[in-house]
Structure 1
Amino acid sequence: MLRIAVTGKPGVGKSTVVSGVVQKLDLKACGVRAAEIRVDGERQGFSIEDIDTGRKGILSHIKCTGPKLGKYHVNIGDLDGIGAEAIRAASGCDLVVIDEVGPMELRSENFIRAVEEILDSDRPILAVLHRSSKHPLAQRIRDEFEVLTVDENNRDCLPDRIAARFQQC
């Protein structure tokens, strides 16, 4: 069972790499993806989407309520209701995608449990991992996954390389 995590500096293209991998594969990918919410070129927060159903919500926003992380407030309701549920529902898919395991997502015990449950399964997983989190779940992923660092030099070729690896399984 292949498990790959990508990590790197903020804004380097980790989520873009993961999206590129999913687009290249002829596999049913399920799980969760995050994206920036921008207004007039300014990042206001992050959305969260169930890859399988297309259901979207707010992961964090400068105008939300919830636990504060930097200038953002984490929306635990959508993180649990969309994020954790998408990961739990992904157990029947060919590839589980988790974008991302980072400080915002780790504010939710429900999300943490959902990720731990899928890690205990036999499913192939492609994840985005925060580069410096010391959380036990992040450490478990570092220990159990092949971890690739995304940078400006490799971000364009990584989707093909990673997709080829999953295609072989």
Structure 2
Amino acid sequence: MRRHVFLTGPPGIGKTTLIHQIIDVLKSSGVPVDGFYTEEVRKNGRRIGFDVVTVSGKRGTLSRTRNDADAANSGRCEYRVGPYVVDLPSFECLALPLLTKLNGKEDKEKKVYVIDEIGKMELFSEPFIQAVRQILDGTDATVLGTIPIPKGKPLGLVEDIRSRRDVKIFNISRDNRDSIIQEIIETVQGCRKMNGN
């Protein structure tokens, strides 16, 4: 029984663009959607980091390149992924209330919860890992998320998601990214029915 849907594929393939399109379609058909996605931040044409943006439009910093992060992060414990310094407090401040609201059953309306992405930067947060596990194990939500393709050292939560029998994973490629959206939407809607939504 499939209850959750995840997209995977190489960086820059269009996973977040698909997530945006799916959110729009679900909302226009009356499906309640909540959660967050990640968005590139550019300055003078150069990528300087990523922001976390909630479906309702709130924005917070996820990461910045070393120079752009120095002023904001002075004195903080530093988490790094490649050239990026992760702003863990900012990420947790925005993402965790969304996830704990669901786990705490404060949200009576059953929704599709977007978690884009579950990757190296987000996985520095142990509370985030625990909250995602609780949501996936619960019966009150359908998760629409993204995970990276396997590369380098395995990421525990990502590998757990890959091996779950209640998760359908779509591999996004240049060949299928424009034609696969309808199948993903139908799968999400099927998962909602399985979850009693």
The TM-score normalised by the length of structure 2 is 0.79
- Equivalenced residues, count: 168
> Which of 34, 37, 40 in structure 2 is aligned with 1:36?
40
Check conservation: 2:8, 2:170, Cα contact below 8 A.
Answer: yes
> 1:50 deviation in Å?
2.0
Confirm or deny: 8 A CA contact 1:79 1:111 kept in the other structure: no
Over alpha carbons, which structure has the higher Rg?
Answer: 2
Within the candidate set 70, 73, 88, 2:82 is matched to 70
Greater than 6 Å deviation, 4+ residue runs: none
Match of 2:172 in 1: 150
Q: How does 1:92-131 map to 2 (within 5 A)?
A: 92=107, 93-122=110-139, 123-131=141-149
The counterpart of 1:49, out of the listed 46, 53, 65, is 53
Deviations 1:11-64 (A, max 9, x none): 000111111111111311111111100112211100102224x22101111122
Instruction: Give identity over the alignment, percent.
Output: 29
Gaps of 5+ in 1: none
Stretches of structure 2 lacking an aligned partner (at least 5 in a row): none
9-18 or 126-135, which moves further after superposition?
A: 126-135
Trace 1:5-16 onto structure 2 (pairs within 5 A): 5-16=6-17
Q: Name the residue aligned to 2:64.
A: 61
Q: CA-to-partner distance for each residue in 1:90-121, whole Å, 9 max, x for gaps? A: 45342011000000000111211111121121
Kept in 1: contact 2:35–2:113 (CA 8 A): yes
Determine whether 1:167 maps to 2:167. no
Paired residue type of 2:95: G
TM-score with structure 1 length normalisation? 0.92
Other-structure match for 1:138: 158
